[in-house]
Structure 1
Amino acid sequence: MLLQVHPDNPNPRNMKMIIECLKDGGVIIYPTDTVYALGCDITQHKAIERVARIKQVDPKKAQFSFICYDLSHLSDYAKSVDTPIFRMLKKALPGPFTFILNASKQVPKLLKTKKDTVGIRVPDNNICRSIVHELGNPLMSTTLPIDVYVEEYTDPEVIYEKFGSQVDIVVDGGPGGMSFSTVIDCTGEAPELIREGIGDFDAIT
Structure 2
Amino acid sequence: MAELIRIYEENPQEKEIKRIAEVLRDGGLIIYPTDTVYGLGCDITNTSALEKIARIKGVKLDKANFSFICEDLSNLSDYVKQIDSATFKILKRNLPGPYTFILPGSSNLPKVFKKKKTVGIRVPDNQICRALVKALGNPIVSTSIKDEDEVIEYTTDPELIKEKWDKLVDVVIDGGYGDNVASTVIDLTQSEPVVIREGKGSTVI
Report the TM range for the smaller structure's normalisation.
over 0.9
What value does the CA root-mean-square deviation take over the aligned residues? 1.5
* 1:38 correspondence with 2:40: yes
User: Which ranges in structure 2 are unaligned for 5 or more consecutive residues?
Assistant: none
Counterpart-to-counterpart distance in 2, 1:112 and 1:39: 19
Counterpart-to-counterpart distance in 1, 2:114 and 2:195: 21
- For 2:13, the equivalent position in structure 1 comes to 11
User: Which ranges in structure 1 are unaligned for 5 or more consecutive residues?
Assistant: none
Structure 1 residue identity aligned to 2:108: Q
Contact 2:100 2:122 in 1 (8 A): yes
Contact 2:37 2:154 in 1 (8 A): no
Deviations 1:120-177 (A, max 9, x none): 0000000000000111100000011434572881100000000021000001111001
3-state SS of paired residue (2:129): helix
Counterpart-to-counterpart distance in 1, 2:145 and 2:115: 20
Contact 2:7 2:13 in 1 (8 A): yes
Evaluate the alpha carbon distance shift between residue 188 and residue 147 of structure 1 in structure 2; reply closer, same or farther with a 3 A threshold.
farther
Identity %: 55
Counterpart-to-counterpart distance in 2, 1:183 and 1:23: 28
* 1:101 correspondence with 2:103: yes
Deviations 1:94-145 (A, max 9, x none): 000000011111211313554x111000000000000001111000000114
Report the alpha carbon displacement of residue 59 of structure 1 after superposing the two structures with TM.
1.1
- For 1:154, the equivalent position in structure 2 comes to 156
Aligned length, in residue pairs: 202
Contact 1:98 1:184 in 2 (8 A): yes
- For 1:66, the equivalent position in structure 2 comes to 68
Report the alpha carbon displacement of residue 86 of structure 1 after superposing the two structures with TM.
0.5
Deviations 1:45-84 (A, max 9, x none): 0000011111111112211000000001111110011111
Question: Which aligned pairs between 1:187-198 and structure 2 lie closer than 5 A?
Answer: 187-198=189-200
Evaluate the alpha carbon distance shift between residue 152 and residue 92 of structure 1 in structure 2; reply closer, same or farther with a 3 A threshold.
closer
Q: 2:23 aligns with which of 21, 24, 35?
A: 21
Question: Which aligned pairs between 1:104-183 and structure 2 lie closer than 5 A?
Answer: 104-112=106-114, 114=116, 116-148=117-149, 150=152, 153-183=155-185
- For 2:92, the equivalent position in structure 1 comes to 90
Report the TM-score when normalising by structure 2: 0.94
Counterpart-to-counterpart distance in 1, 2:114 and 2:161: 28
Report the TM-score when normalising by structure 1: 0.94
Counterpart-to-counterpart distance in 2, 1:6 and 1:71: 24
Report the alpha carbon displacement of residue 191 of structure 1 after superposing the two structures with TM.
1.0
Counterpart-to-counterpart distance in 2, 1:112 and 1:96: 26
Evaluate the alpha carbon distance shift between residue 112 and residue 33 of structure 1 in structure 2; reply closer, same or farther with a 3 A threshold.
farther
Contact 1:112 1:118 in 2 (8 A): no
